[in-house]
Structure formats: C-alpha cells, structure tokens
Amino acid sequence: MKRFTVSLFLAALIVPASLSAFSLTYEGVQGEIGLLWKMNEGYDTQEGDSGPDTLTFTPGVSFFFSINENWFMRPSVFYYGQTLEYLPEREYAIPVDYSNINSLYVAGLFMQPGFGYRFIINEKHTIGLQTSPALNIQVPTFGPGSSDRADMFSSLIKEFLYWTFSAWYYNPLTERFGFSFKLEAGIPLYNLYLGRGLPFNDGMMFGFQVGIRVLADR
C-alpha cells in the first residue's frame, strides 16, 4: 500500500508537468498566510474523549503556471506547527497544551503540486478550482517529551498522504501585484491503511489563506 500511494503521488506530480512541458507559462509567485484547522479524534484514556483539535497559522508560498487560458498548475508548500504528546500504548500522537510534561513541538510541511481550472470572469475577477495529492511531513523538534521524539517521528511519518480540494479567488491589483484568498480541505488518505481504529476524519484539514501574488515580467 505504501509503494502504491507513493507512486500515486509521484505520478500526479510528474505526469501533468510532462504532458505540458512545452506549454507551461510562469505567471508569478505568491506569498500566503492563513489559518489551519486540523481535526483530532485520537484519545488518551477513554475512547471518544479525544484531545483538542489544532488551530494554527500557516505561512506559505505557491508558484503559478498556466497551461492554457484556463488550465493551470500551482505547486505550493506551507508550514504549520503543533504541540503533540506521543502515546506509546496507542502508537500515535495527540494535540496537547505546550505545558504538558510529555509534549513536543512538531514542525510540519504541507506540499502539493496543485492542478486545476480557472474561470476568468473578467480582467479583474478570476475563480479557480484545484485538486491534487499532497505530502505532509511532520518532524518533532523540541520540548519536555524529548525521550519520545524517535517514536513520535516514526508514527507521524506514516501520516504523509493527503488529497486536497481548493477553491480560490484572484484579483490583479496592479500590473505587478495581485490579491487572492483560498479555501482548502485536506483529506487524510493515510487513514485508509493505518488501521488505528480512529474515525476517518482524524487528521482532516481545513484551511483559509490570503495572499499577494508578484506577477512575472512580461
């Protein structure tokens, strides 16, 4: 299953680019920031008594390439942080308060190739829809629960595969800069193969970002 999911991600990343390698046009780079809500269904002592969900800021950057007037690619990477505690008896980590004596700060990178279709309403208003697989890398860093760092990383690295759906709005403010906002949902596909007995929505992500696009010179 792991080989299949990795192959699926690489194919979705490489195939669209290779098919249109001679027609991709770079349009600009976009700095973005927003909020991420990551759902948690993991529990410590009693089933159903889950820890808190994660709500955190997500700075990131994306690059916009047009394939033709409507189709586009928008690879992006976002950073997010969370405070987690590893539960050895359950072999997964749950969100906790930073004051927890077993907590670790976990740095996350969320990367996706982004492929979709845009509706150009007029020169000032564009709406886009996109979908793609995504790679979620989580690395425990520092905190009082450092003795669990290796076990936590081994658990978190299995939570790497997502599928995303996004909708965004774009408005060119000037000839060099534009404004956008985006709504996004991330589906945790890893729940299909981990078999931890948790609901499928454990790890589901919902995000909102606003951004400024710096347009390429023409």
> Cα angle at 55 between 9 and 183, to 5 degrees?
55
- Mean pLDDT (the chain) is 90
CB atoms within 10 A of CB 12: 17
Q: Which two tokens stand for residue 112?
A: 């996706």
- The 10s digit of each residue's pLDDT in 55-107 is 999 999 999 999 999 999 999 999 999 999 999 999 999 999 888 999 999 99
Q: How far apart are CA 84 and CA 106, in angstroms?
A: 7
Considering the entire predicted model, what is its pTM? 0.86
Total domains in the chain come to 1
- Please report the sign of the dihedral spanned by the C-alpha atoms of residue 23, residue 29, residue 35, residue 41: positive
pLDDT at 190 over 90: yes
How buried is 84 (Cβ within 10 angstroms: 0-12 exposed, 13-18 middle, 19+ buried)?
buried
Q: How far apart are CA 169 and CA 180, in angstroms?
A: 5
DSSP 117-172: EEEEEETTEEEEEEEEEEEEEEEE--STTGGGHHHHHHHHTT--EEEEEEEEEEEE
Q: How far apart are CA 59 and CA 79, in angstroms?
A: 6
Residue 19 pLDDT level (bands cut at 50, 70, 90): very low
Residue 9 pLDDT level (bands cut at 50, 70, 90): low
Going by C-alpha positions, the residue among 104, 86, 3, 82 that lies closest to residue 37 is 82
CATH of residue 166: 2.40.160.20
Residues of the domain holding 107 = 2-215
pLDDT at 206 over 70: yes
Q: Please give the distance of CA 197 from its chain centroid, rounded to a whole number.
A: 23
Residue 45 pLDDT level (bands cut at 50, 70, 90): low
Q: Please give the share of the chain, as a percent, with pLDDT higher than 70.
A: 87
Q: Which two tokens stand for residue 212?
A: 């400024």
Q: Which two tokens stand for residue 60?
A: 């990131």
β-strand 103-112 against 177-188: which pairing, if any? unpaired
